[in-house]
């Protein structure tokens, strides 16, 4: 089973690249990709979704 399905789908729909999201939340892109391998806690998922929403508002 793939972890973080809702986050992965949100990333795909947003059009952002993984490295862009990593930059938004202040971590390295390799760290972000490793984070997605295991199910994230709800607060971390919300942080990622919020960062994408804020960035979408700027574009």
What's the total number of domains in the chain?
A: 1
What number of residues does the chain have?
59
Residues whose CB is less than 8 angstroms from the CB of residue 39 and which lie 6 or more positions away in sequence, other chains included: 3, 4
Half-sphere exposure of 50 (CA within 13 A, CB side): 7
Q: Considering all CA atoms of the chain, what is the largest pairwise distance in Å, rounded to the nearest integer?
A: 34
Per-residue pLDDT of the chain (59 residues; tens, 9 = 90+): 579 999 999 999 999 999 999 999 999 999 999 999 999 999 999 999 999 999 988 75
Query: Whole-structure pTM over 0.75, yes or no?
Result: yes
Residues spanned by the domain of 21: 5-58
How many other C-beta atoms can be found within 10 angstroms of the C-beta atom of residue 27? Answer: 13
Q: For the chain, give me the number of helices (H) and strands (E)?
A: 4, 0
């Amino acid at each position: 089973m793939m972890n973080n399905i809702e986050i992965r789908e949100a990333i795909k729909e947003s059009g952002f690249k993984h490295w862009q999201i990593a930059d938004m939340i202040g971590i390295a892109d390799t760290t972000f990709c490793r984070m997605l391998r295991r199910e994230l806690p709800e607060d971390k998922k919300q942080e990622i979704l919020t960062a994408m929403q804020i960035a979408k508002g700027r574009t």
